[in-house]
Amino acid sequence: MKPEEKRFSLDLIDLTKKYGSPLFVYDTTIIQKQYERLMNAFSGVHVKLHYACKALSNLEVLKFIRTLGAGLDAVSIEEVSLGIRAGYQPDQICFTPSGVGFSELEEAVHKGVKINIDNLDMLELFAQKYPEYPVCIRINPHIMAGGNLKISVGHIDSKFGISIHQLPHLLKLVDHWNIPVEGIHMHTGSDILDTEVFLGAVEILLNAAKSFPNLKYIDLGSGFKVPYKEGDIETNIEQLGQTISTRMKAFYKEYGKEVDLIFEPGKFLVSEAGVLLTEVNTVKVSPSTLFAGVNTGFNHLIRPMFYNSYHHIENISNPSGNPRVYNVVGYLCETDTFAVNRRIAEIRVGDILSFRNAGAYCFTMASNYNSRLKPAEVLLHQGKDYLVRRRESFEDLVKLQKKTGLFD
């Protein structure tokens, strides 16, 4: 088995022969390993995980993660519906929207899920219409826990959460409307590099929690960094778990009772469990650059262009070939670049390239730009492969469009 394929339970090239390419492949073994690693990092506290399904929302993936014991973090009413379709009970789903209309909160009430509110005006409106419905409050601690403004959401200029400096106003609203607050929440964003900074945000939230006497849970969000290449830094989950466990035990004594501690891992659970397999269409030499053109683009994997993210690329058809330096580019009519000056084993037309860390924020951010079709998804489970989303057809692309007869 080739180096990249050792990370997965089945031969990846065989999967492209069976299902075609481009192809997303996810391995449940890796998801379960990450889930257990996170759960085992804590001791002496009541930890629950709510999977952030915006990372990867395929129904079969949601069902598998449910079997591990996780709840669900949903950021749209459609994700709430997906969770219910996947078998989650309403009280296992926490709806954490931002910038939505009141109608979405009303629909969430009708579905019976937990609701996390991050807007003072919306909280007051909600309390007037649904005075007995318990809510969670999302606090913005004004902490920059990651280095990228696009994925760090706890800083002072973020649209997310109620500012910690508005806590006095928040408490007045809670007291005036007798709002049943069952939880308090924060999410500082993805790629937590400095655990000390994150722990500072935790301290801010725990201090705020003391103002709410009837909490059932405290939600610390997630954003744990995973490695994207050999030697890459990652969040030290074990160290973080030990430190937070110690702090929570002290908090239980300060607060007078024990509450659940919730985390919302998305990328941490599924990023390393996924690969995108793509075939090389062309190898092209310009006066200054050697290009490898593949049969995918940022319509399937937007992270390198959108976030300037790194995805390790391996030629699994020719892993022992002499390395050369390539720009790996897509097939869109755009500057569609996955990698610049990347050292990869010699690439030939027809080779299969594997893009690592394609489990999170890849298919869920895919589009039909250039009228390209979305790829298939395959789930590996207990040594077998299962097609969990078929490849789109041209008829799928046009089926929602309506003929008017105006120009026939």
Give the CATH number for residue 129. 3.20.20.10
Give a yes or no: residue 27 inside a domain.
Answer: no
| pLDDT, tens only, 71-123 | 999 999 999 999 999 999 999 999 999 999 999 999 999 999 999 999 999 99
The single-letter DSSP state of residue 317 is: T
Q: Do 392 and 257 share a structural domain? A: no
Q: Do 248 and 205 share a structural domain? A: yes
Q: Do 314 and 258 share a structural domain? A: no
Predicted confidence at residue 306, as pLDDT, reads 93
Task: Classify residue 32 by burial, with Cβ atoms within 10 Å: 0-12, 13-18, 19+.
Answer: middle
Residue 259's closest CA among 227, 226, 213, 204? 213
The single-letter DSSP state of residue 7 is: G
Is pLDDT larger for residue 3 or for residue 98? 98
The single-letter DSSP state of residue 282 is: E
Query: Average model confidence (pLDDT) for the chain?
Result: 93
Q: Do 250 and 220 share a structural domain? A: yes
Give a yes or no: residue 142 inside a domain.
Answer: yes
pTM of the full predicted structure? Answer: 0.93
Predicted confidence at residue 197, as pLDDT, reads 83
Give 317's pLDDT tier (boundaries 50, 70, 90). very high
User: Residue 345 sits in a domain of what CATH number?
Assistant: 2.40.37.10
Give a yes or no: residue 18 inside a domain.
Answer: no
Res 269 pLDDT > 50: yes
Q: Do 295 and 252 share a structural domain? A: no
Total of domains in the chain: 2
Q: Do 325 and 260 share a structural domain? A: no
Helices 102-111 + 77-85 axis angle, to 10? 20
Q: Measured between alpha carbons, how far is 31 from 171 in angstroms, rounded to an integer?
A: 40
| pLDDT, tens only, 359-400 | 999 999 999 999 999 999 999 999 999 999 999 999 999 999
Inter-residue contact 390 to 379 (CB < 8 Å): no
Task: Classify residue 241 by burial, with Cβ atoms within 10 Å: 0-12, 13-18, 19+.
Answer: buried
Supply angle C-alpha 381, 387, 393, rounded to 5.
Answer: 160
Predicted confidence at residue 3, as pLDDT, reads 57
Res 9 pLDDT > 70: no
Query: Among 242, 268, 294, where does a domain finish?
Result: 268
Give a yes or no: residue 360 inside a domain.
Answer: yes
Give a yes or no: residue 406 inside a domain.
Answer: no
Q: Do 184 and 293 share a structural domain? A: no
Which are the catalytic amino acids?
A: 333
Q: What is the mean pLDDT of residues 253-277?
A: 97
Q: Do 262 and 278 share a structural domain? A: no
| pLDDT, tens only, 161-209 | 999 999 999 999 999 999 999 999 998 765 666 678 888 889 999 999 9
CA distances from 306 to 111, 229, 240, 273, 361 (A): 34, 19, 29, 21, 11
Query: Among 229, 246, 268, where does a domain finish?
Result: 268
- In the chain, the largest separation of any two C-alpha atoms, in whole Å, equals 75
Q: What is the mean pLDDT of residues 329-348?
A: 96
Is pLDDT larger for residue 144 or for residue 109? 109
Give a yes or no: residue 358 inside a domain.
Answer: yes
Give 148's pLDDT tier (boundaries 50, 70, 90). very low
Beta-carbon contacts of 337 under 8 Å, excluding residues fewer than 6 positions away, are: 304, 305, 327, 328, 329, 330
Res 6 pLDDT > 50: yes
Q: Do 244 and 283 share a structural domain? A: no
**Sign of the dihedral defined by the CA atoms of residues 179, 183, 188, 190, in that order:** negative
Q: Break the chain down into helix, strand, coil percent, rounded to 5.
A: 35, 25, 45
Q: Measured between alpha carbons, how far is 63 from 336 in angstroms, rounded to an integer?
A: 34
Give a yes or no: residue 24 inside a domain.
Answer: no
Q: Do 63 and 187 share a structural domain? A: yes
SS3 29: helix
Q: Do 282 and 233 share a structural domain? A: no
Q: What DSSP element (H or E) covers 290?
A: strand 290-294
Give a yes or no: residue 28 inside a domain.
Answer: no
Predicted confidence at residue 198, as pLDDT, reads 84
What is the domain range of residue 321? 4-9+273-398
Res 150 pLDDT > 50: no
Res 283 pLDDT > 60: yes
- How would you classify the pairing of strands 352-355 and 376-381? unpaired
Q: What is the mean pLDDT of residues 311-336?
A: 96
- What DSSP line would sit under 111-146, residue for residue? HT-EEEE--HHHHHHHHHH-TTS-EEEEEE-----S
Query: Among 268, 287, 315, where does a domain finish?
Result: 268
Q: Do 280 and 238 share a structural domain? A: no
Res 33 pLDDT > 90: yes
